[in-house]
Amino acid sequence: MWKSRLFTPGPTPVPDEILLEMAKPLIHHRTPQFRKILAECFNGLKELFQTKEDVMILTSSGTGAMEAAISNLLSPGEKCLVVEGGKFGERFREIAVAYGAGVTTLPVEWGKSATPSEIEAALKKEPDIKVVFTTLCETSTGTHTDVKGIGEIIRHRPDTLLAVDGISSLGAVECRTDEWGVDVMISASQKAFMLPPGLAFISLSPKAWEKSAKTKTPRYYFDLSAYRKAAAKEDTPYTPALTLIIGLAGVLKMLKTEGIENVWKRHYLLAEATRQAVKALGLQLLAEHPSNAVTAVRAPEEIDAEALTKALRDSSGITFAGGQGKLKGKIFRIAHLGWVDQYEILQAIAALELQLLKMGYALQPGAGVGAAEKVFLE
Amino acid sequence: MWKSRLFTPGPTPVPDEILLEMAKPLIHHRTPQFRKILAECFNGLKELFQTKEDVMILTSSGTGAMEAAISNLLSPGEKCLVVEGGKFGERFREIAVAYGAGVTTLPVEWGKSATPSEIEAALKKEPDIKVVFTTLCETSTGTHTDVKGIGEIIRHRPDTLLAVDGISSLGAVECRTDEWGVDVMISASQKAFMLPPGLAFISLSPKAWEKSAKTKTPRYYFDLSAYRKAAAKEDTPYTPALTLIIGLAGVLKMLKTEGIENVWKRHYLLAEATRQAVKALGLQLLAEHPSNAVTAVRAPEEIDAEALTKALRDSSGITFAGGQGKLKGKIFRIAHLGWVDQYEILQAIAALELQLLKMGYALQPGAGVGAAEKVFLE
């Protein structure tokens, strides 16, 4: 008996009812039936993004939306600032370099996050920076960034835009695109959206749309103006991943029923319980400002994190993510993201205790679970 | 009672067993389980493409792979020749223009196809053309192109590549990528592959890989070298649409069991029966060289093709495609593509007869079905 139990920061578990919804016989995408579904998605996405602007649906990995942010907003040679404190900051840099933008990096120690004042200082030094790229949650380190504070710095500069990778946390943590002055917000289907991978989402502020009209970088598939034009007619410019969009309509309904603020609260509780549990086991968190989407935990000195996650996955199906890049073998990451409730966290913590005990790590059996229960009781 | 019965050139019906396979609980993509599935897909795609080269799997609409063909093979200012005899020829041109290539169009009347000698003449006039783009089946007109013959013209030119959009017909009609000297072959999941939309496929010849290494057009998400590098480790560079890839492994097994030559024969029979049936109803085909993937039929003068397809869809679920662009209202298109057998064609023709009768068109009830049966009997 082996059950797939994902605690990875993408893909995350998909509700059975949504899996079955997506398994229905296919319909055509240029029909009134599908347009209705698409309209529901566009509305639901606006609420999740907390924006009045269009949220466009791309058929691609999240990386496709990151590329769209760059190719639609930066002409060759124009400058951008990339906050780089993990693998996804790196990716923004790589894409910007590929597209010939002038890239200034704000290096951040992995596990820390950039502060609004660091951003302010960087912009003072190079006032001709056109776009600032940051993550809301740097998935590779489980680190939360104060996007609200950074928005305060950027929103009053007429020639600078703020683009945020919310791929692994939008829909899990508080995120107010319009209110915070985020010009480009990005997410993807396989995280808090509780869907399989294959869709990416992106919204642009009026200021960003203006800039995109003047941007000279070549683009076609990710030219957002085509998606906006199609969305106005409840359509997509190219044949979309329509079964995933049917699933999207379903999960957006579920999230609306729960209420977005309740969804954020649920994720806070799951994250806080996980943090207290691992601390009770004598383990340390990597992130100075941990995200409520995913908890990065330093493995004990004597245990290889890769061996730990592999053994746990193979014995229990409970799948944590390992470390990426320079953190490989040193940390493991527990995502509590999307279709996850308190009882799954208790199960995962218990399984982690058992696995650590099997590997010879000294702990008090039940200590982690007990600490999590206390959080849920409060 | 309303049943979805797709006879559209994408999406096409997905086998129930594949829909259910894709509805299984999600697994993570960086695991031995998923790598095994991916390896099966890479092998199966090579057979379907009839190539020894890597076939890369992109998470995107087919248009994404068309863009990849252009951004990986044409530097800004380099010349290409686009055969334009329908909507998908147009799309190749639009993408090439967006990427700053020099575009020469070979205009073809909608419903006709370019001949090898026309291509030869165009290349003689402009010998510095680097890539020739054509469709194997121009979906908007149901027209087959003699890719084999065109390959003969191009394969011996060291500085010219042949790129073929096989999106709507690869896996349905004979297509021998390596043998015919096709340098870039493109397809997508929602046609002969019997899957929902969301995946695109692309293979490059060694000659095309060489050219891509020298191409200076900016690209990242569609940079094929990243996919090739990942494929060597049975991996993908970005989180792929993994449920669709799980489905892909399933359909490739089904196609292998049937045998690729038998699959081509089945599609020939379905297409020929459809052609004979509509002719027996007094209707005309649009295409001079009709594709075995989709049959484009001229609507009777007095009947609006849009009204016909809409009424048929709403009453029976039988969904034909209408005309695109300048053919809107004038033709309808019956796809016999993917998960379709003889009995579905008989049903579709019967329903077409009934609908035409309801709309006042004079025909002998059963005449079309009878003509189709004769084809199947032979």
Label residue B151 exposed, middle or buried (CB < 10 Å: 0-12, 13-18, 19+): buried
pLDDT digits (tens, 9 = 90+) for B101-121: 999 999 999 999 999 999 999
The verdict on B124 touching A (C-beta cutoff 8 Å) is no
For residue B300, name the pLDDT band (cuts at 50, 70, 90).
very high
For chain A, the distance separating the N- and C-terminal CA atoms, rounded to the nearest angstrom, is: 35
Q: Which residue has the tokens 């209408």?
A: B322
Eight-state DSSP code of residue A59? E
Q: Note whether B26 contacts A10, CB cutoff 8 Å.
A: no
Q: By C-alpha distance, which of A329, A284, A282 is closest to A305?
A: A329
Q: Note whether B64 contacts A59, CB cutoff 8 Å.
A: yes
Tell me which chain A residues have a C-beta less than 8 angstroms from the C-beta of B243.
22, 196, 198
**Average pLDDT, rounded, for chain B:** 97
For residue B213, name the pLDDT band (cuts at 50, 70, 90).
very high
For residue B260, name the pLDDT band (cuts at 50, 70, 90).
very high
What's the confidence (pLDDT) of residue A172? 98
The verdict on B315 touching A (C-beta cutoff 8 Å) is no
Per-residue pLDDT of chain A (378 residues; tens, 9 = 90+): 899 999 999 999 999 999 999 999 999 999 999 999 999 999 999 999 999 999 999 999 999 999 999 999 999 999 999 999 999 999 999 999 999 999 999 999 999 999 999 999 999 999 999 999 999 999 999 999 999 999 999 999 999 999 999 999 999 999 999 999 999 999 999 999 999 999 999 999 999 999 999 999 999 999 999 999 999 999 999 999 999 999 999 999 999 999 999 999 999 999 999 999 999 999 999 999 999 999 999 999 999 999 999 999 999 999 999 999 889 999 999 999 999 999 999 999 999 999 999 999 999 999 999 999 999 998
**Average pLDDT, rounded, for chain A:** 97
Q: Which helix (H) or strand (E) holds A211?
A: helix A206-214
- Average pLDDT of span B243-269: 98
- Give contacts of A 137-166 with B, CB under 8 A: none
Best probe of the A interface among B5, B35, B61, by most A CBs < 10 A, is B61
What's the confidence (pLDDT) of residue A260? 97
For residues B114 and B125, what is the distance between their CA atoms, to the nearest angstrom?
Answer: 16
Catalogue the E-assigned strands of chain B.
5-6, 55-59, 79-84, 102-107, 129-135, 137-138, 143-144, 161-165, 184-188, 199-204, 284-285, 294-298, 318-319, 321-322, 331-335
Strand partners, B135: B165
Tell me which chain A residues have a C-beta less than 8 angstroms from the C-beta of B28.
6, 8, 11, 319, 321
- Give contacts of B 237-276 with A, CB under 8 A: 238-244
Q: Domain B5-10+260-377, what fold?
A: Aspartate Aminotransferase, domain 1 (3.90.1150)
- Give contacts of A 176-235 with B, CB under 8 A: 188, 190, 196-198, 217-223
Share of chain B above pLDDT 70, in %: 100
- Give contacts of A 5-34 with B, CB under 8 A: 6, 8, 10-14, 19-20, 22-29, 31
Q: Note whether A221 contacts B222, CB cutoff 8 Å.
A: yes
pLDDT digits (tens, 9 = 90+) for B12-23: 999 999 999 999
For residues A220 and B70, what is the distance between their CA atoms, to the nearest angstrom?
Answer: 11
Distances (CA, A) of B2 to A25, A245, B104, B195: 12, 21, 47, 22
Query: Could you tell me which CATH number the domain at B16-257 has?
Result: 3.40.640.10
pLDDT digits (tens, 9 = 90+) for B318-364: 999 999 988 999 999 999 999 999 999 999 999 999 999 999 999 99
What's the confidence (pLDDT) of residue B82? 98
Strand partners, A184: A163, A204
CB A281 within 8 A of CB A292: no
Label residue A100 exposed, middle or buried (CB < 10 Å: 0-12, 13-18, 19+): middle
Of A19, A197, A243, the CB nearest to B240: A197
pLDDT digits (tens, 9 = 90+) for B120-153: 999 999 999 999 999 999 999 999 999 999 999 9
pTM above 0.80, yes or no: yes
Delimit the domains of chain A by residue range: 5-10+260-377, 16-257
Strand partners, B164: B134, B185
- Average pLDDT of span B213-234: 98
Same-fold call for A5-10+260-377 versus A16-257: no
Of B14, B24, B28, the CB nearest to A26: B14
What's the confidence (pLDDT) of residue B229? 98
Eight-state DSSP code of residue B170? B
Q: Could you give phi then psi for residue A233, rounded to 5 degrees?
A: -110, 20
